[in-house]
Amino acid sequence: MNDSPAKIAIDRLTKRYGSTLAVDSLTVDVPKGSIFGLLGTNGAGKTTTFKCLLGLARPTSGTVTIDGKPLTPENFERLSYVPERCALYEWMTGAQHLELQRRSFKYYDGRRADELMDLFGLDRRKKIGKYSKGQQTAMALVLAFSIRPDILVLDEPASGLDPVHQRHVLDLIIGEAAGGSTIIFSSHQIGQVERAADRVAIMHKGTLRLTGEVEQLKADVKVVEATFDSEAPQLNGLGTDPRIGYVMRAGKLLRVYVGGDAGEIAKAISAKGPRSLRVLDQNLEDIFLSTVGAAPLNEAEY
């Protein structure tokens, strides 16, 4: 999986708006057939990265290549982009948008488009301006998936959608990837990224903080989770162990995040007599929060 050539290669991409450094020397490879999740708090540089990737913004320096070559009009025939904010014509109906898509894209698939319109329950005769925000997002997704895309770039594709339709979006993404398409998407729904993505990159304030395979990243840090019969005890002495990332304490529950082998730490906690003790892989939300420097829970909050 790792050896496949990059479908999308972002190399030392830098984008500056005036005095603001929106993206700072970002290097990321997206392998073919991958579902790549781009995570970051607001203002991390995700949307700017997408714009540079699509040629909608000119990089200050660095390059973006697709199949090893700069973006060409040919790429665009099989490339779909769903921006964070709706970019449809409010005065046109759903049907008119489909027609526009049919005329613009060689690989437009009308049957697929019809299926998707039904899936999201969209009224073809209605003007886009009369759609709800969620319906506008859904319409943009219908258009994106209707052209049999080779590459899909989705900026917050689930925003404004109800949980059922969010699930449809994930299923569509997974289906496309299974068919060989490459997907790069951003989302604040970390749980969804965790399930669907095979690789992620975490950006913070314009820079890449962490990237890799989801399963690998989750296995890299172990969580020692212990429950006690009363208030979880202090970790005197252990607290300064360099292997410990951070400690979460919530009443009787204690979670200690350990980089590398957790055996010794688990043993030390075990000596404090917990009722139960487990060593687990961490989840993506833990990884994200610790990467952007926000612990999930402060001790003081509980």
Partner 1 sequence: MPAVFTVDAHSGVPIYLQLIEQVKRSIALGVLSPGEQLPTVKQLATDLTINPNTVARVYRELERDGVIETSPGRGSFVRSNGGVANASRAAADVAAAALDAAVREAKSIGIAVREARELFHRALERWYPDHEKTEDSRS
Contacting residues toward partner 1, per CB under 8 A: 1, 33-35, 167, 170-171, 174-175, 177-179, 191, 194-198, 214-215, 218-219, 223, 262-263, 266-267, 270-271, 277-283
| CA R_g for the chain | 22
CA–CA gap between residue 134 and residue 142 (Å, rounded): 12
- What sign for the dihedral angle of Cα 151, 157, 161, 167? positive
CA–CA gap between residue 220 and residue 216 (Å, rounded): 6
Which residues of the chain form beta strands (DSSP E)?
6-17, 20-31, 35-40, 61-66, 79-82, 151-155, 182-186, 199-204, 207-213, 221-227, 244-250, 253-259, 276-281
Contact 147, 109 (CB under 8 A): yes
Shortest approach of partner 1 to residue 179 CB, angstroms? 7
Amino acid at 24: D
Looking at beta carbons only, is 56 or 219 nearer to partner 1? 219
Contact 200, 37 (CB under 8 A): yes
Contact 40, 206 (CB under 8 A): no
CA–CA gap between residue 93 and residue 170 (Å, rounded): 26
Residue 175 CB neighbours (<10 A)? 11
Contact 101, 94 (CB under 8 A): no
Shortest approach of partner 1 to residue 227 CB, angstroms? 13
Shortest approach of partner 1 to residue 220 CB, angstroms? 12
DSSP secondary structure letter of residue 57: S
Residue 283 CB neighbours (<10 A)? 14
CA–CA gap between residue 85 and residue 137 (Å, rounded): 8
